[in-house]
Amino acid sequence: MFRTAIAGSLPKPAWLAETHKLWPRWKAAGDDLAQAKLDATLVWIKEQEDAGLSVIGDGEQSRQHFVHGFLEKVEGIDFEHKVEMGIRNDRYKAMVPQVVAPLRLTGRVHQAEARFLREHTTRLTKFTLPGPMTIVDTVADRFYGDRVKMAFAFAELLNQEALGLVEDGIDIIQFDEPAFNVYMADAAAWGVQALERACQGLKEAAAVRGRTVKTAVHICYGYGIQANIDWKKTLGDQWRQYEQVFPVLAASSLDQVSLECIHSHVPPELMALLKGKDVMVGVIDVASDTVESPEEVADTIGRALQFVPAHHLVACTNCGLAPMDRVVAEAKLRALARGAMLATERYGA
């Protein structure tokens, strides 16, 4: 059976937060909110298991946004005085916090939800963190004066949290780097190195506990929001952004790479550049509410199999499902698992 996983995020239930939004407001506060986040996590663990997925995540139910969920526990950032900044090479404007002093982690960031996830499933678990380059592209720098220096400062903090996640029993630690598809030369020059810094010592820490841990990076063309849909229209018939960074990733210590495939203009042969790595192939579109048929999912897996050996292929979503309708997301999880099952019948695994 082909392995199946989600990229990371899932929609938040209406009783937890505003729906259909990337930056939803919470509907509770204090202890009630902490409990509601875990309750929502439990719902999604069950939904993923029932759909038949082999790798289970927390659906990022405990964080408001995939970058700022991490930053909230970082000292040296001024959240009071946000400034407007163009991010992802000015694709959109956002009000971002400012780095004003040396960065330091004030404690564990995701311990509660990571342990909760581990306690409530016996399947493989995956946990996501933002990657250093994407974080650097989402905050204003008033202290380091150098993107690379600041990225490595964040990488050290991410490494501390990742080591904690290993201790919590997480099997796969994934860093989300949509910025790799925007700053391709920088990604190849230092972005992958910063990721490796974030992954330092994880395997050794797992081995001490008699376990193994895999490291992953998710590189996408963003959530299915209008600004991204408009941007994709400017990228032409062939999206070759992956071409610069995949060879560097293939030579890196990272184990898995998550990429967009279905309904994208990514030439499938670029997957061959990831020789030796697990490839999480996007077989579920997150920019459309139309639920894929198992046949369509199996067809996409079949296309990927021309360039990725079956034992390295993981069927996955193109990106997170956070802003989607909950019912649609549930149906897409089932389509993912059924399509992978059909692909197993067709192609073997």
Report, in Å, the least distance between residue 178 CB and Zn ion.
5
Report the side by side order of strands in the sheet with 172-176.
3-4, 313-317, 278-284, 256-259, 214-218, 172-176, 124-130, 55-56
Report, in Å, the least distance between residue 174 CB and Zn ion.
10
Report, in Å, the least distance between residue 29 CB and Zn ion.
29
Nearest to 10 by CA among 52, 50, 66: 66
Residue 166 or 254: the one with the smaller Cβ distance to Zn ion is: 254
Residue 12 or 118: the one with the smaller Cβ distance to Zn ion is: 12
Residue 168 or 260: the one with the smaller Cβ distance to Zn ion is: 260
Q: Residue 184 in contact with residue 227, Cβ under 8 Å?
A: no
Q: Residue 243 in contact with residue 265, Cβ under 8 Å?
A: no
**Distance between CA 219 and CA 191 in Å, rounded?**
12
**Distance between CA 192 and CA 349 in Å, rounded?**
30
Size of the site for Zn ion (CB under 5 A): 2
Distances (CA, A) of 89 to 67, 70, 316, 337: 17, 22, 27, 36
Report, in Å, the least distance between residue 316 CB and Zn ion.
10
Q: Is 304 in the site for Zn ion (CB under 5 A)?
A: no
Q: Given CA atoms 12, 54, 130, 94 in this order, what sign does their dihedral have? A: negative
Report, in Å, the least distance between residue 76 CB and Zn ion.
27
Report, in Å, the least distance between residue 321 CB and Zn ion.
10
Residue 225 or 250: the one with the smaller Cβ distance to Zn ion is: 225
Burial class (CB in 10 A: 0-12, 13-18, 19+), 124: middle
Residue 67 or 202: the one with the smaller Cβ distance to Zn ion is: 67
Where in 175-234 is the site for Zn ion (CB under 5 A)? 220
Task: Tell me which of 319, 336, 342, 343 binds Zn ion, using CB under 5 A.
Answer: 319
Nearest to 224 by CA among 288, 268, 276: 288
**Distance between CA 343 and CA 301 in Å, rounded?**
7
**Distance between CA 87 and CA 138 in Å, rounded?**
6
How many helices (H) and strands (E) the chain has is answered by 12, 11
Stretch that binds Zn ion, among 32-40, 158-166, 208-216, 319-327 (CB under 5 A): 319-327
What would the x/- binding string for Zn ion be over residues 18 to 47, using CB under 5 A? ------------------------------
Q: Is 10 in the site for Zn ion (CB under 5 A)?
A: no
Where in 139-158 is the site for Zn ion (CB under 5 A)? none
**Distance between CA 297 and CA 290 in Å, rounded?**
13
Residue 319 or 333: the one with the smaller Cβ distance to Zn ion is: 319
Coil/strand/helix, residue 76: strand
Report, in Å, the least distance between residue 324 CB and Zn ion.
13
Residue 144 or 183: the one with the smaller Cβ distance to Zn ion is: 183
Report, in Å, the least distance between residue 131 CB and Zn ion.
11
Q: Is 96 in the site for Zn ion (CB under 5 A)?
A: no
Residue 103 or 133: the one with the smaller Cβ distance to Zn ion is: 133
What would the x/- binding string for Zn ion be over residues 63 to 82, using CB under 5 A? --------------------
Terminus-to-terminus CA distance in the chain, angstroms? 6
Residue 9 or 121: the one with the smaller Cβ distance to Zn ion is: 9
Applying CB under 5 A, the residues found at the interface with Zn ion are: 220, 319
